[in-house]
Amino acid sequence: MLLTGADIFAEVLVEQGVDTLFGYPGGAVLNLYDSLYHYRDKIHHVMTAHEQGAAHAADGYARATGKTGVVLATSGPGATNLVTGIATAYMDSIPMVAITGNVGTSLIGRDSFQEVYITGITMPITKHNFVVRKVDELADILRDAFRIAQTGRKGPVLVDIPKDVTSAKAEFVPKKPQIPEMHTYIEQKDLEQAAEMINAAERPVIYFGGGVSASQAGEELLELARKAEIPAAYTIMAAGVLGYGDPLNMGLLGMHGNRTTNWAVNEADLVLAIGTRFSDRVALNPDQFAKRAKILQIDIDPSEINKNVEVDHSLVGDVKQVLQQLLPLVKPAKHPDWMALVQSWQAQDYHPKNSSTRITPHQLIGKICELAGPDAVYVTDVGQHQMWAAQYIRHIRPRSFLTSGGLGTMGFGYGAAIGAKLAVGDRPVIHLTGDGSFHMNLNEACTAVSYELPIITVIFNNTVLGMVRQWQTAFYEKRYSSTDPHRKTNYVKLAEGFGAKGYHCESVAEFAQAFEQALKSKGPVWIECVIDKDEKVLPMIPAGGTIEDMIMD
């Protein structure tokens, strides 16, 4: 059938299973929006307050579901406003298709109104990007974009569509989505060598990351851990893969990980790194990381092997499929002495003190977990509150802790919470943020109000840029340069101005009452919690340090 480029765009979205799209209209994409009007019974378009919010919403939708998030923006500033959101998705390997409009093909390169070279700008932060030059190429390019986003190591893809391509016509032939199944083949000798390393280990540790979530390999990971009795530590991107309270779950690893996980890696004779990349927030000093251990790495991306830390052996492929092939070769084992040592370290872990007179972060998060229930999805911004959340939330299921791990994007949270809420339906979505991060994109409150999304935002308000101030305290002799913005924001009045509900709390008891009311709300709620500006995220290993440099108080 003969269709315009705009209708081909909509048809391919439907064909690819897209039912939710985040975006903001503008001149270069008017034809696309006109087509979306006619397809509104099949594609739910969510208009955000800002294109960055739309990108984060598409990202949050993808993180919560595993599907490809889709965002649409116009040319020029609309396109450039997506850049931070695309980079956030790229650093955390989140599948996303970003579609931008552009000036007509005859105007490209003439510094036309709202023209930018968006494919050049985003080339370093996408898996691939395309400029569509002819309407008869549009359908297959869009299909390729969805395939690339989900194939191998997942990530964002950008498609730039000039305006005249959206109005031109071409023959459209429907096709079924073609996301090829990945078939990981590992040489038998490599599998046997990996299994021998595991079977011979006396002090093994599993260190796993977001790749386990991406490949939905949680069951296989747990089976391996239990079969060979291997205690496990996770990165911030893998929270929830192993349930809170599982005896083999040691907790968060790295700069703000607990004493047990960091000591276990330091004393291990084998570190089995699964779906993780040895980032500088985990392997803070690469030359000293797991220096007593042999390292076996399993990852889908061959470029991650030996990139940050030299490993002794590696298996490259989809984590789920690699573990399925490896498990039959791993012998059942027990490591009683090693487990006893781990448990002795756990008894010495850092435990913050409770307070009956003020709000402490760990008590606040404990109360949230108690009241929100096991189905809650937590979305954070970036800073101290993010680390407290990673440390203290009782994670029990995958895809329920959404945070910007690699890029560390302040302002990520509200947009991502909107995307997550639209993805998970009736499950509670709790947005945890600091006053610094929240000010960056709090304008997305109008989106949550417009779409009647009952997102509960908990603001850890210490009136300063807490994480930067913590570093200034520890490493800059308390020279607090530009970390106290002296803001006078009244969050209750501001929430009401947006059409949301706001609360101000100075005790955990006040918070509990407010949170219980928020859980009954049919729209967004903000709960401001007053936190002491000298609260610290502990423990902490300084950048470039080792376990010997850990700060406990």
505 burial (CB, 10 Å; 0-12 / 13-18 / 19+) is: buried
Q: Which residues pair with 205 in a beta bridge?
A: 271
Q: Tell me how far apart the alpha carbons of residues 419 and 422 are, in angstroms, rounded to a whole number.
A: 5
Angle at alpha carbon of residue 208, lines to 205 and 214, rounded to 5°? 155
Catalytic annotation on 370?
A: no
- For 90, the 3-state DSSP assignment is helix
Residue 181 in tokens = 């199944």
Phi, psi at residue 190, to the nearest 5°? -75, -40
Question: Pick from 50, 63, 64: which is nearest to 22 by CA?
Answer: 50
Strands 429-434 and 456-461, by their bridges, are parallel
- For 156, the 3-state DSSP assignment is strand
Cβ atoms of 285 and 546 within 8 Å: the answer is yes
Q: Tell me how far apart the alpha carbons of residues 117 and 75 are, in angstroms, rounded to a whole number.
A: 9
Q: Tell me how far apart the alpha carbons of residues 22 and 43 are, in angstroms, rounded to a whole number.
A: 10
- For 544, the 3-state DSSP assignment is coil
Cβ atoms of 368 and 430 within 8 Å: the answer is yes
Residue 359 in tokens = 């709000």
The catalytically annotated residue of 255, 410, 467, 550 is 467
Question: Pick from 126, 127, 131: which is nearest to 142 by CA?
Answer: 131
The catalytically annotated residue of 9, 11, 22, 51 is 51
Question: Pick from 368, 371, 406: which is nearest to 385 by CA?
Answer: 368
Catalytic annotation on 467?
A: yes
Catalytic annotation on 307?
A: no
Q: Tell me how far apart the alpha carbons of residues 429 and 416 are, in angstroms, rounded to a whole number.
A: 10
Q: Tell me how far apart the alpha carbons of residues 370 and 358 are, in angstroms, rounded to a whole number.
A: 19
Question: Pick from 426, 420, 431, 427: which is nearest to 396 by CA?
Answer: 427
The catalytically annotated residue of 67, 127, 154, 163 is 163
Q: Which residues pair with 271 in a beta bridge?
A: 205, 295
Q: Is 399 left (phi over 0), alpha (psi -120 to 50) or beta?
A: left
First CA to last CA distance, the chain: 69
Cβ atoms of 17 and 412 within 8 Å: the answer is no
Catalytic annotation on 51?
A: yes
The catalytically annotated residue of 47, 114, 216, 307 is 114
Catalytic annotation on 163?
A: yes
The catalytically annotated residue of 1, 113, 171, 475 is 113
- For 444, the 3-state DSSP assignment is helix
On the CB side of 443, how many CA atoms lie within 13 Å of its CA? Answer: 10
Residue 270 in tokens = 């084998």
Q: Tell me how far apart the alpha carbons of residues 243 and 249 are, in angstroms, rounded to a whole number.
A: 7
Which residues are known to be catalytic? Answer: 51, 113-114, 163, 467
